[in-house]
A and B are shown apart, each in its own frame.
Chain A
Amino acid sequence: MSFEVAGLSPAKADGPLKLAVPRGALLGETLDVLDGAGIDTSEVRGDSRSLIFETEGMTLVTMRPSDVPTYVEAGAADVGITGKDVLLEQSDRMVYELLDLGFGRCRMVLAGRKGDERLGESQRRLGMMRIATKYPRIAERYFEGTGRQIELIEVKGSVELAPLIGLGDGIVDLVATGRTLEENDLEVREDILECTARFVANRVAHKLRAAEVDDLTARLREAAAR
C-alpha cells in the first residue's frame, strides 16, 4: 500500500473544506444525505453548469465518481463521496475510507447471455473465459481468487454490447435493478460483491483538519442512518 513516494502535485488544504461530490447515478442521494447533514445543496441542484459551488463553510466540487479518489488522494479535495466499486477498482489510491453511507446499493456480477453456455464451454475447451468489463482489476482479482483464468477485455462504454456481438463470453459489471441486463437478454451468473457509496478523506486533511473531518463524518453518519 502506502509504500509510495511522490505524487508531487501541490494542493491547498486551506480555506473551507472541499468535498468531492459524484455526478451521475449517485448524485441525487448524495445531495439528499448532504442536506440531511445540514449542508446547503440548493445551488448544485440548480441547472447551473458550474462544477464548483460555495456553501457555508464548505466547497462542493462535482466530478465523475471515478475521479473522486484521484482528487482526494492528491488533496485537491479534502473529502469526497464515491462508490465502493470505484474504490476497489482504484484500490492503489491512498484515501481513507471513513464511512459506509449505505445508499447507491448495487451488485458487481458476472453475467452471460440467457440460455447461452459459452462461458462454461470456453472455460472447458479453451481453459479460460473471455470477459468484457469496465472493471478490469475487480474482475481480475475475482477470477484469480476463484482459481479461474480469463482473458480480460477492457471496454469504456456500454459493456452489455460486448457479448451480444461476440466480443467475449460474458461481462463483469455493476447492476442496480437488473433492467439493463434484462433488456439486453443477459442474466446474472455469479454475484461478485455488493457496493454502496462511501465517504473518503485525504490522509493529510484527516490529520490536519481532524475536527472538521470528524464533525462532518458524524453528521453524515447520522444523516445516512435516517
Chain B
Amino acid sequence: MIHPIPPGTRDVLPDEMRELRRLQRALIEVFEARGYGEVATPAIEYDEVLARGDGRTAATAYRFFDEGGELLALRSDMTVPIARLAASRLAGAEQPLRLCYLASAYRAVRPQRGQMREFTQAGVELIGVPAPAGTAEVIEVLEAALDAAGLDRAVIGLGDADLYRQLLAEYGIEGEARDSIIARLATHDLVGLEEELAAVEGIAEEQVATCVALSQLRGGSEVLEQARGLGGAAVERASARLQATFEELERRDVAGRVRIDLGLLRDLGYYSGAILEVYDPALGHVLGGGGRYDGLLKRFGADLPAAGFALYLERVHVAQMEEESRRGGEGR
C-alpha cells in the first residue's frame, strides 16, 4: 500500500542523505571559517511579521490559524526571519553581524512542474556593512561556498536592483505603466518590453532603445562603459555602484567568476542596490541568489545596511553530480 506525500515534498533515503550532509557540512564549514555563526529560526512565524519584511502577498504561500486564532505562515525564505532576529533578539549586539543558516523554506508550486514546495537553503547574511565592502565580502563567501561544492565553473551574475526604478523615474514613467514595464524586464520579455515602452506617451525613441539595450548588457567590467555610453543619470549612478563593487572584488582578487549583468532583476520585494544570481553550465536553472537589502532591517526597527545570499541546496547537489560526471567523462 502506497501512502502518498504532497506534491513538491520529498523523502530522502540514506544514499542521497549522505551526499546532502557532506555538502551541507562543506558549506557550513566555509561560512563558519569566515566568521558567520549559524542560527535557526522557527519554520512557522506570525504572518504579519513575515509580511512586514516582504509585502507581496504571494511570498508566504502557506498560512493557517493556530488554536488561539492567530494567523501563522510558513517562511518562504530565511532573509526576512533573520532580519527580524537581528532587529529584535540581537538588537544590542556588536556590529557587524555575520550569520549563516541551513534551513527549509516553503513556496507555492505550479502543478506537475517538478517544483518543490519544501526546499533547503544554505546562505549567509552580513548585517551592518554597507556597499561596496559588504557586497564584496558576501560575494567572496559565495565563491568559497561554490568552490567547496566543487562547482568550479559556476558563475555569479551581479546586477543592480534600483537601476530600472530610477531609470523609469527619470523618464517620468510611474504607476501601472512602470509596474508592467518592470514585470516585462523581470520575465525578460523583450518583445513585450518594447511594446510597453512604446505605448508610454511622450517617450522618446532613444529612451526605448536605451532601456531595451541596457537589459541585454552582460559580461565583464567593459559593459559598464557600454552602459555609460547609453547615458542618463540613473544609468550613471547604477554603473558607479556596480563599478565600486567590482573594484572591491578585484582588490580582493575574487572578481574572476563575476559577470556584470544589467538585465538582472530579482522579484523579491526587499532588494536594493546590488543583486546576485548564481548559475552553473551543468544546470538550466538558477542555483541561488541574493544581494543587498538596505531597507529591510528598518522595517523591523533597526536601520542597518545588509546583504546576503542563499543557495538552493538540492539544486547545488544536482549540479555537483553533473559536474562530477562531466569531470569523470573527461578523465576517460
Contact = CB atoms under 8 A, between A and B. Distances in A.
A5 B115 contact: yes
Contacts of B108: 3
Interface size class of B (residues with CB under 8 A): 35 or more
A208 B187 contact: no
Interface string A201-216: 0111111101000100
B327 interface: no
A169 B265 CA distance: 43
Given A4-B110, A100-B191, A207-B218, A13 B186 contact: no
A94 interface: yes
A37 interface: no
Interface string A128-143: 0000000000000000
A75 B314 contact: no
Interface string B63-104: 000000000000000000000000000000000000000000
Contact of A75 (B59, B109, B285): B285
B296 to A, nearest CB: 17
Nearest to B184: A97
B180 to A, nearest CB: 12
A208 B155 contact: yes
Contacts of A92: 110, 113
Contacts of A198: 191
A96 B322 CA distance: 24
Given A1-B183, A8-B114, A96-B190, A204 B322 contact: no
A25 interface: no
A202 B45 CA distance: 35
Nearest to A209: B281
B209 interface: no
A114 B184 CA distance: 39
A10 B287 CA distance: 12
B189 interface: yes
B157 interface: yes
B284 A207 contact: no
Interface in B240-278: 259, 261, 267, 277
Given A6-B114, A7-B114, A13 B282 contact: yes
Interface size class of A (residues with CB under 8 A): 35 or more
A204 B284 contact: yes
A135 B319 CA distance: 35
Contacts of B155: 207-208
B285 A7 contact: yes
Contact of B284 (A2, A74, A96): A74
Contact of A2 (B186, B191, B281): B186
Given A8-B318, A14-B326, A210-B218, A2 B282 contact: no
B267 A2 contact: yes
B284 A5 contact: no
A76 interface: yes
Interface string A60-104: 000000000000011110000000000000001010111110000
A204 B282 CA distance: 10
Contacts of B285: 6-8, 74-75, 203-204
Contacts of A11: 282-284
Contacts of A202: 284
A9 interface: yes
A8 B186 contact: no
Contacts of A97: 187-192
A157 to B, nearest CB: 22
A137 to B, nearest CB: 12
Nearest to B154: A208
Nearest to A198: B191
Contacts of B115: 4-7
B312 interface: yes
A2 B107 CA distance: 11
Contacts of B314: 6, 8
B190 A10 contact: no
A10 B267 contact: no
Nearest to A101: B191
B114 to A, nearest CB: 5
Given A6-B114, A11-B283, A98-B190, 10 more contacts: A3-B59, A5-B116, A11-B284, A13-B281, A13-B282, A92-B113, A94-B187, A97-B191, A99-B190, A208-B279
26 contacts: A1-B186, A3-B107, A3-B108, A5-B107, A5-B119, A6-B8, A6-B114, A6-B115, A6-B116, A7-B285, A8-B285, A9-B114, A10-B319, A13-B281, A75-B285, A96-B188, A97-B188, A98-B190, A100-B191, A198-B191, A203-B284, A203-B285, A204-B280, A204-B281, A204-B286, A207-B279
Interface of A: 1-14, 73-76, 92, 94, 96-100, 198, 202-208, 210, 214
The 3 A-B residue pairs with the shortest CB-CB distance in the complex, in nearest-first order? A75-B284, A6-B116, A96-B188
